Amino acid sequence: MKLPTFWGGIHPPQNKVLTADEKIEQYLPKGELVFPMPQNIGAPCAPVVAKGDRVLVGTRLGNNDAFVSAPILSSVSGTVKDVTLRMTTPGTFENCVVVENDGKYEKAPEWQPLPDYENIDPKEYLKRIRDAGIVGFGGATFPTAVKLSPPPDKKIKWLIVNGVECEPYLNCDNRLMLESPDEVVNGLKLVLRLFPEAQGVIAIENNKPEAVKTMEEAVKRLGASGITVQPLAVKYPQGAEKMLIEALTGQEYVVTALPADVGCIILNVRTTQQIYRAIALGEPAVTRVVTVTGDAVAHPKNISVPLGTSVRELVELCGGFKEQPVKILSGGPMMGVSMRSIDVPVVKGTSGILALTAKSAMLKPITACLHCGKCVEACPMGLVPTVLEPLVAARMYKRFEEEGGMNCIECGSCTYVCPAHRPLTQGCRDGKASVMAMRRKAAAK
């Protein structure tokens, strides 16, 4: 049987075996934890605590009342040590709340299960989801309560749980589906109460047959009618929002549209589980699963870790580096961000820590474009990267827009296949940023 998929794409080596069978390990840090204030797409938070304040697990550290935002909660109990600039994942310095952990993990009393949660008006879920600080844990960190509040004219027909995890190396979603399948299904059931006419789909790339089986059993066990588990063909970037919708529903939509415009809402596995926990168990979103892996890491692991923990501690928990890494990434190798230092905190968007040696990072010189067309074949968006990159280099931004450059989803497929190692994705990213900057400038006039 041919599994559904999308047009274009690539098949990078998966390297998932490093951590595929590693059970999620709980880690409780000591010492100080760092909570950067910008941790979601949309409005960044501002600190609402001051030096010396006592905080508990679930105490609000940062908040912003803007619609597109989510609060930041403490993952430990202790004392606010400082509110100061600290280095974050991309190497920039951001406003951070630093909490000295007392090691007691005392939970704030306001965090209780929503009473009679299965029967109350589901609209009340939205407030809880926001208060719990839930964002898209797949890495995009879009505030989930906002995603679940589409304009009333958008009819939602599909609620898709994204368990594709198409990035090589990563296993956090895979392990979550294997170890907590019921919580994921229950989370989806709760969200479906918000959209009674929608159909629930749990989409999983078919390189995780056990996860497919586990989820199917969980759906059956929990009697969740209206939820199906859909295996998808193994191809990168199958988990990208647009490619997932194309594969599942056959629909395409323009770059300016959102999934809700074609009747879809997509939630990551962890996000769905976190929704269940926040509502049914009264647990705020203060931990996440991180896959620490790569050929430079001594013992790769999947770790459940309180947000704010230093990445260095996770690396040490994995036995440190067995080889000198040349690149350390936050996220997967295709779309992850390369880090300057591992002395940065785990944030909501940290799906993996990947340390690559020189061998696997394959740093090669850039040579001339051969016009081979491999990038055109790989681009899931139907762009011609070999045309776009020189346009950005020549600062011909208008032509860049005309050639569809703004459609680029930065999945990295073109650069991956390029035999000349041209920075095609980087070119498009650069072009998009420049166009956006010019648009903002024009709007400000």
Partner 1 sequence: MERLLVVSSSPHIHSPLDTQKVMGWVLAALAPAGLAGVYFFGVRAAAVMAVCVASCVIFEYLWEKCLKKPSTVNDLSAAVTGLLLAYNLPPTIPFWMAVLGSLFAMVVVKHLFGGLGCNIVNPALAARAMMLTSWPVPMTTWTIDGVSGPTPLALIKMGATDQLPPLQDLFIGHVGGCIGETSALALLIGFGILLYKDIIKWHIPVVYVATVAVLSVAFQRPVTPLYEILSGGLLLGAIFMATDYVTTPVTRRGQIIFAVGCGVLATLIRTWGGYPEGVSYSILIMNLVVPLIDRATKPHIFGEVKKHA
Q: Which region, judged by CB under 8 A, interacts with partner 1, from 32-40, 182-190, 220-228, 339-347? A: 339-347
Q: Which is nearer to partner 1, 71 or 332 (CB)?
A: 332
Q: What tokens appear for 242 in the block?
A: 């647009």
Binding residue for partner 1, selected from 120, 372, 394, 436, defined by CB under 8 A: 372
Q: Does 421 contact partner 1 by CB under 8 A?
A: yes
- The residue assigned the tokens 């549209």 is 257
- Does residue 237 have a cis bond before it (omega within 30 degrees)? yes
Q: How far is the CB of 176 from partner 1 (least distance, A)?
A: 24
Binding residue for partner 1, selected from 49, 83, 391, 418, defined by CB under 8 A: 418
Rg (CA), the chain: 22
Q: Which is nearer to partner 1, 149 or 426 (CB)?
A: 426
Binding residue for partner 1, selected from 25, 216, 401, 410, defined by CB under 8 A: 410
Q: Does 379 contact partner 1 by CB under 8 A?
A: yes
Q: Does 201 contact partner 1 by CB under 8 A?
A: no
Neighbour-count burial for 5-31, b at 16+ CB within 10 Å, e otherwise? bbebbbebebbbebbbebebeebebee
Q: Does 394 contact partner 1 by CB under 8 A?
A: no
Q: How far is the CB of 325 from partner 1 (least distance, A)?
A: 7
Q: How far is the CB of 268 from partner 1 (least distance, A)?
A: 19
Helix (H, G, I), strand (E, B) or coil at 422: coil
Q: Which is nearer to partner 1, 46 or 255 (CB)?
A: 255
Of 248, 191, 182, 193, nearest in space to 220 by CA: 182
Angstrom distance (rounded) from CA 100 to CA 64: 23
Residue type, 344: V
Diameter over CA atoms, the chain:
64
Q: Does 329 contact partner 1 by CB under 8 A?
A: yes
Residues contacting 196, CB < 8 A, separation 6+: none
Q: Which is nearer to partner 1, 158 or 276 (CB)?
A: 158
Q: Which is nearer to partner 1, 216 or 323 (CB)?
A: 323
Strands 54-55 and 78-87: antiparallel
- The residue assigned the tokens 């299960």 is 113
Q: How far is the CB of 250 from partner 1 (least distance, A)?
A: 8
**Looking only at residues 217 through 246 of this chain, which bind partner 1 when binding is defined by CB under 8 A?**
242, 246
Residues contacting 91, CB < 8 A, separation 6+: 339, 340, 341
Q: Please report the DSSP string for 346-376 in residue order.
A: --TT--EEEEE-HHHH------------HHH
Q: Which is nearer to partner 1, 26 or 324 (CB)?
A: 324
CB of 355 closer than 8 Å to CB of 321: yes
Q: Which is nearer to partner 1, 47 or 294 (CB)?
A: 294
Q: Does 161 contact partner 1 by CB under 8 A?
A: no
Helix, strand, coil content of the chain in percent (nearest 5): 30, 20, 50
Helix (H, G, I), strand (E, B) or coil at 1: coil
Please give the C-alpha separations between residue 48 and each of 96, 252, 443, in angstroms, as whole numbers: 11, 42, 32
Binding residue for partner 1, selected from 334, 347, 388, 391, defined by CB under 8 A: 334
Q: Which region, judged by CB under 8 A, interacts with partner 1, from 143-151, 224-232, 263-271, 383-391? A: 383-391
Size of the site for partner 1 (CB under 8 A): 72
Binding residue for partner 1, selected from 75, 141, 144, 360, defined by CB under 8 A: 360
Q: Does 7 contact partner 1 by CB under 8 A?
A: yes
Q: Does 50 contact partner 1 by CB under 8 A?
A: no
Q: Does 317 contact partner 1 by CB under 8 A?
A: no
Binding residue for partner 1, selected from 49, 265, 361, 388, defined by CB under 8 A: 361
Binding residue for partner 1, selected from 103, 209, 319, 373, defined by CB under 8 A: 373
Binding pattern for the stretch 81-120 against partner 1, x by CB under 8 A and - elsewhere:
----------x-----------------------------
Q: Does 376 contact partner 1 by CB under 8 A?
A: yes
- The residue assigned the tokens 């597109």 is 68
Binding residue for partner 1, selected from 19, 386, 400, 432, defined by CB under 8 A: 386
Q: Does 319 contact partner 1 by CB under 8 A?
A: no
Angstrom distance (rounded) from CA 269 to CA 184: 6
